[in-house]
């Protein structure tokens, strides 16, 4: 608040400076310096209906006086020194400030402060917990353990909580160029993220017996970023070295929360039990979760260029880093009635060494022929310590140790890329290029595929027959193999099982899409044509088709196509109009098999295939379809005096999931049909009308009207309440599953619909 007042005071002072000057002065003379700038201020009346969280998801639109923009320039008359200050949305939650000063060609200093709000849900979510720095307690508990008990209790005791974050970013950068050859850079940035967001947590041993307690995650992050670097550029070569450091600290890295379903008592009077029993109200008194651990990252990068003989240029980079994390491990459980298993270490001693090497050669020796070759190596070398858990783990603060022997394997991978491109200027207006790329991905154990190779190749054409016509066409075909896919590969490095034992619990035909064999076709087309000096037409088409030929189970294919068209037209000197339309459709296909034994006479899991178990094979297909429109117009109603801008934006998106076939899960008496999900739909409109009337050389009157509406249908979210146990059922069925009836949620529906009409009446003063 004090900060906001200071800023408004500064704004007022600058306004006073303006009024001290003569009305016709373009800038203010202060000895050896000139001062110029502008300030805009005005009021924003508004009328809103519905849940406007989405309207202000990343911005602050208050119904009050605002200062949208403030600028100040101090220039030395010798033209050697400068100082610039500008601010946006002064004093508001999304305010930003920038101060830049320096000497031209020698020194540049910049200080930036930026605030980014992020609203998830306001005035909607509720929780019965008292939240205190990562310790969530319940002042009361349900009278019993039935769904009705939980319903009555949570409805009577849940209090509102806003789910939102604020990011505050401060950056200081300096650049020093003592001569055209040397450049030194330094920077420090601080990012503070604070607030609350929703996330899920639960108690219980299995998906059949549980109680969910959706919580509010306490966010209090602090990140410090440092950059230091120097570079020298000589005749035909350059060399630079940069250090980047990032220190992240989570001020609340542990969260404990009371279990509402343990009805033995409140707080310290609660009695822990190793056995989770929903009906009896026994189990853990509380749970304990490890939120994101604090960590550090340090990276050194060396890059250089050199001009070689025969018109060849070498460009290279080498980067080596450390990612460190050594937060102490929490105990396995917060349940005092459970015997803690053993663990071989107190912390992970997390240590990852990412390495990147890139070497590129570009050659233009032959006239009209451009050649490029590059090699890139990226190694994610995870040297974190292996941790032995000889007794297994405790699942959700109840029961006994699982008895498995776990030996964690720090996951590493390495990626190599090689590429060749040859481009030829066939004619003055046609350039054709042929490209080839190879990517080898090597994964350490813990994933199913050890090595994969992907080859890609294709032509590109750039056609520019005249200065006002441009066509760009590119096609790329990629083929990725996955011969060594083995579901049992991560055995014996993470769990005490043989590969054969692991495969018993896996589907032989399953292929995870990011490791599966894949054929990809990618086509892009772009054109820009200006048949008249005042008319430009542009259009494009982006198409990607991924097929997974060896994935009988898993993702079968996905296709994305996105055509776009647009124009900019200025039929008159005082009138211009523009418009854009984009349509995008993303389709995917998935095939899966029910996992539990017995349905439809299917064999055991490891022997089950789509062919021998068609009865339990189901398919799902989805498509996302989005239409986006932008239209606008700039009108000079009175030349140099009255300008009008009109702008309209519209986006309509839908997401469908359709399923077919039969499936079954634990508890089902037989196969049931796979079902469709209701389509998700969201619709967004934005209209902006803005007029500026230049009352005086230094004074402009600004009027604005802004309309924004948003509506959303997402059946999975729209139905949410803090208690979901009475979800509608057909006659004769269970009123709710025992577990859902004993669960509590935040009930947030952040995608609520709204309409907002916002006006603006203000003045812009320039000096």
Residue 501 sits in the site that holds other proteins (CB under 8 A) = no
How many Å separate Cα 13 from the centre of its chain? 40
In the region spanning residues 1 to 20, those forming contacts with other proteins, defined by CB under 8 A, are: none
How many residues can be counted in the chain? 767
Tracing tokens 């959700």 back to the chain, one arrives at 396
Does 317 help bind other proteins (rule: CB under 8 A)? Answer: yes
Kindly tell me which residue out of 52, 145, 273, 431 binds other proteins, with binding defined by CB under 8 A.
Answer: 431
Least distance between other proteins and beta carbon 30 (Å): 18
Q: How far is CA 273 from CA 401, 556, 741, in A?
A: 14, 46, 22
* 195 belongs to the binding site for other proteins (CB under 8 A): no
Give 517 or 605: the residue with its C-beta nearer to other proteins: 605
- Residue 640 binding other proteins, by CB under 8 A: no
Q: What is the distance between the alpha carbons of residues 748 and 4, in angstroms, rounded to a whole number?
A: 31
**Which residues within the stretch 319-348 sit at the binding site for other proteins (CB under 8 A)?**
319, 321, 323, 325, 327, 329-333, 341, 343, 348
- What track of x and - describes contact with other proteins for positions 75 through 94 (by CB under 8 A)? ---xxx-x-----xx----x
- Going from the C-alpha of 568 to that of each of 302, 443, 580, 679, 687, the distances in angstroms are 44, 49, 9, 35, 19
Site string for other proteins, 282-311 (x = CB under 8 A): -----xxxx-xx-x-x-x---x-x------
Binding flag, residue 729, other proteins (CB under 8 A): yes
Q: Which residues from 119-178 bind other proteins, rule CB under 8 A?
A: none
Q: Which is nearer to other proteins, 7 or 44 (CB)?
A: 44
* Residue 186 binds to other proteins (criterion: CB under 8 A): no
The residue count for binding other proteins (CB under 8 A) is: 214
Residues 6 and 12: their CA atoms lie apart, in Å, by 10
- If one asks whether residue 672 binds other proteins (CB under 8 A), the answer comes out as yes
The DSSP bridge pattern shows strands 254-258 and 672-673 to be unpaired
In the range 695-714, which residues lie near other proteins by CB under 8 A? 704, 706, 710, 712, 714
Determine contact, residues 298/244, Cβ cutoff 8 Å.
Answer: yes
Binding residue (CB under 8 A) for other proteins from 107, 228, 356, 691: 356
CA distances 578 to 435, 465, 649, 692, Å, are: 36, 25, 12, 20
Question: Does residue number 635 form part of the binding site for other proteins (CB under 8 A)?
Answer: no
Q: Cβ(138)–Cβ(266) under 8 Å?
A: yes
Question: Of 157 and 382, which has the nearer Cβ to other proteins?
Answer: 382
Residue 736 touching other proteins (CB under 8 A): yes
* Nearest-angstrom CA–CA distance, 704 and 727: 46
* Residue placing its CB nearer to other proteins in the complex, 265 or 366: 366
> For other proteins, which is the closer residue by CB, 83 or 717?
717
Residue 453 near other proteins by CB under 8 A: no
Q: Check binding of 446 to other proteins (CB under 8 A).
A: yes
Radius of gyration from C-alpha coordinates of the chain: 31
Task: Please pick, from the candidates 8, 337, 510, 694, the single residue that binds other proteins as defined by CB under 8 A.
Answer: 510
* Whole-number Å distance between alpha carbons of 702 and 740: 55
Question: Minimal distance in Å, beta carbon 277 to other proteins?
Answer: 19
Determine what percent of the chain falls in helix, strand and coil, rounding each to the nearest 5. Answer: 5, 60, 35
Consecutive H or E run containing 310: none
Backbone φ and ψ of 3, nearest 5°: -60, -45
502 binds other proteins (CB under 8 A): no
Select the residue interacting with other proteins from 209, 460, 633, 755 (CB under 8 A). 460
282/259 Cα distance (integer angstroms): 10
- Closest C-alpha to 352, from 386, 324, 329: 324
CA torsion, ordered 229, 233, 239, 242, to nearest 10 deg:
10
Does 257 engage in binding with other proteins (CB under 8 A)?
no
Pick between residue 143 and residue 339 the one whose CB is nearest to other proteins. Answer: 339
Determine, following the binding rule CB under 8 A, whether residue 666 of this chain makes contact with other proteins.
yes
Query: Per CB under 8 A, does 202 bind other proteins?
Result: yes
Cα–chain center distance at 56 = 18
Q: Binding to other proteins by residue 374, rule CB under 8 A?
A: yes
566 part of the interface to other proteins, by CB under 8 A: yes
């Amino acid at each position: 608040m004090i900060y906001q007042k200071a800023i408004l005071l500064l704004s007022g002072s600058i306004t006073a400076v303006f009024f001290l000057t003569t009305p016709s002065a373009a800038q203010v003379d202060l000895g050896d310096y000139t001062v110029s700038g502008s300030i805009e201020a005005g009021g924003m009346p508004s009328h809103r209906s519905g849940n406007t969280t989405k309207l202000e998801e990343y911005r602050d639109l208050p119904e009050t006086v605002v200062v949208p923009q403030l600028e100040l320039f101090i220039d030395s008359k010798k033209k050697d020194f400068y100082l610039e200050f500008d601010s946006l949305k002064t004093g508001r939650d999304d305010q930003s400030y920038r101060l830049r000063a320096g000497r031209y060609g020698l020194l540049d200093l910049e200080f930036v402060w930026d605030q980014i709000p992020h609203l998830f849900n306001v005035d909607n979510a509720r929780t019965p917990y008292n939240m205190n720095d990562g310790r969530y307690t319940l002042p009361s508990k349900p009278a019993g353990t039935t769904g009705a008990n939980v319903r009555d209790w949570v409805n009577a005791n849940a209090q509102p909580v806003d789910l939102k974050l604020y990011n505050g970013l401060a950056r200081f950068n300096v650049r020093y160029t003592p001569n055209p050859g040397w450049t030194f850079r330094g920077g420090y940035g601080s990012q503070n993220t604070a607030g609350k967001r929703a996330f899920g947590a639960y108690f219980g041993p299995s998906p059949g017996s549980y109680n969910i307690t959706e919580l509010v995650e306490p966010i209090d992050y602090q990140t410090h970023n440092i950059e230091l670097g120097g570079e020298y550029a000589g005749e035909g070569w350059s060399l630079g070295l940069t250090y980047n450091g990032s220190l992240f600290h989570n001020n609340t890295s542990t969260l404990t929360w009371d279990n509402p379903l343990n009805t033995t008592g409140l707080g310290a009077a609660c009695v822990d039990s190793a056995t989770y029993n929903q009906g009896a109200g026994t189990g853990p008194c509380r749970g304990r979760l490890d939120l994101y651990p604090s960590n550090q990252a340090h990276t050194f990068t060396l890059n250089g260029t050199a001009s070689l003989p025969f018109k060849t240029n070498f460009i290279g980079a080498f980067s080596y880093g450390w990612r460190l994390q050594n937060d102490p491990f929490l105990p396995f459980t917060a349940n005092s009635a459970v015997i803690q298993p053993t663990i071989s270490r107190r912390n992970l001693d997390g240590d990852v060494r990412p390495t990147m090497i890139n070497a590129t050669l570009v050659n233009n020796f032959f006239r009209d022929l451009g050649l490029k070759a590059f090699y890139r190596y990226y190694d994610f070398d995870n040297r974190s310590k292996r941790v032995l858990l000889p007794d297994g783990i405790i699942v959700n603060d109840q029961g006994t140790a699982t008895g498995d022997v776990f030996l964690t394997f720090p996951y590493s991978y390495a990626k190599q890329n090689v590429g060749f491109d040859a481009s030829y200027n066939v004619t003055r207006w046609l350039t054709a290029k042929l490209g080839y790329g190879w990517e080898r991905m090597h994964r350490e154990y813990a994933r199913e595929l050890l090595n994969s190779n992907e080859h890609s190749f294709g032509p590109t054409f750039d056609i520019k027959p005249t200065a006002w016509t441009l066509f760009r066409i590119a096609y790329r075909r990629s083929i990725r193999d996955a011969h060594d896919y083995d579901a049992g590969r991560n055995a014996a490095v993470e769990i005490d099982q043989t590969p054969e034992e692991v495969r018993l619990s896996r589907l032989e035909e399953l292929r995870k899409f990011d490791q599966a064999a894949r054929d990809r076709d990618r086509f892009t087309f772009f054109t820009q044509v200006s048949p008249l000096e005042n008319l430009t037409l542009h259009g494009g088409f982006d198409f990607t088709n991924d097929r997974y030929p060896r994935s009988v189970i898993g993702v079968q294919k996905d296709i994305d196509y996105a055509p776009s068209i647009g124009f900019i037209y200025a039929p008159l000197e005082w009138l211009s109009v523009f418009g854009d339309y984009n349509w995008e459709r993303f389709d995917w296909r998935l095939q899966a098999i029910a996992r539990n034994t017995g349905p439809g006479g299917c064999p055991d899991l490891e022997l089950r295939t789509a062919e021998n178990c068609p009865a339990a094979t189901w398919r799902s297909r989805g498509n996302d379809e989005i239409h986006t429109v932008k239209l606008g117009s700039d009108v000079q109603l009175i030349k140099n005096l009255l300008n009008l801008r009109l702008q309209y934006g519209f986006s309509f998106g839908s997401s469908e999931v359709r399923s077919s076939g039969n499936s079954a899960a634990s508890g089902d008496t037989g196969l049931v049909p796979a079902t469709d999900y209701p389509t998700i739909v969201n619709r967004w409109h934005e209209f902006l009308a803005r007029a500026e009337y230049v009352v005086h050389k230094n004074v402009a009157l600004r009027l604005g009207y802004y309309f924004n509406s948003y509506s959303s249908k997402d059946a999975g979210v729209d139905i949410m309440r803090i208690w979901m146990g009475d979800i509608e059922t057909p006659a004769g069925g269970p009123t709710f599953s025992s577990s859902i009836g004993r669960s509590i949620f935040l009930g947030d529906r952040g995608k609520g619909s709204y309409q907002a009409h916002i006006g603006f009446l203000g003045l812009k003063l320039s000096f």
